[in-house]
Structure 1
């Protein structure tokens, strides 16, 4: 079940909501169904050499996460 971003054509509110199959989203501010779906961007992992910023904010601060270079999935 994807989460979509919408903008209400009636009141201008922007919001995100979980959309189940067969359901029509409703503006949480005014209850309108006249909505415009917004373009969403996906997150992608950082790629590159050693000069790039780390892919994870935990890099070098403790146990590595799965995205950190040299990380083991078993800790």
Structure 2
């Protein structure tokens, strides 16, 4: 079940919601159903400075991602 971003055309509220199969999302602010789906970026692990996420300082140390300072961002 994917999470989609929407903007309500009635009140302008921007929000994200979990969309289950067969359900039509509504604005949590005004209850409007006239929504515009927003483009969103997918999250991906950091690769050599391509992201704002901190690089793992424990790479190769055998400690794993649980001790990585950036683990909280992706956990």
TM-score of Structure 1 vs Structure 2, range by shorter chain: 0.5 to 0.7
After superposition, residues 1-75 of structure 1 pair within 5 angstroms as 1-48=1-48, 54-56=54-56, 59=57, 64=58, 69-70=59-60, 71-72=62-63
What is the rounded CA distance, in whole Å, between the counterparts of 2:31 and 2:18 in structure 1?
16
Higher helix share: 2
Deviations 1:8-67 (A, max 9, x none): 000000000000000000000000100000001012222238xxx8424xx3xxxx5xxx
- Work out which of the two has the higher radius of gyration on C-alpha atoms and give 1 or 2: 1
| Runs of at least 5 residues in structure 1 that lack an aligned partner in the other structure | none
Runs of 4+ in 1 over 4 A off after TM superposition: none
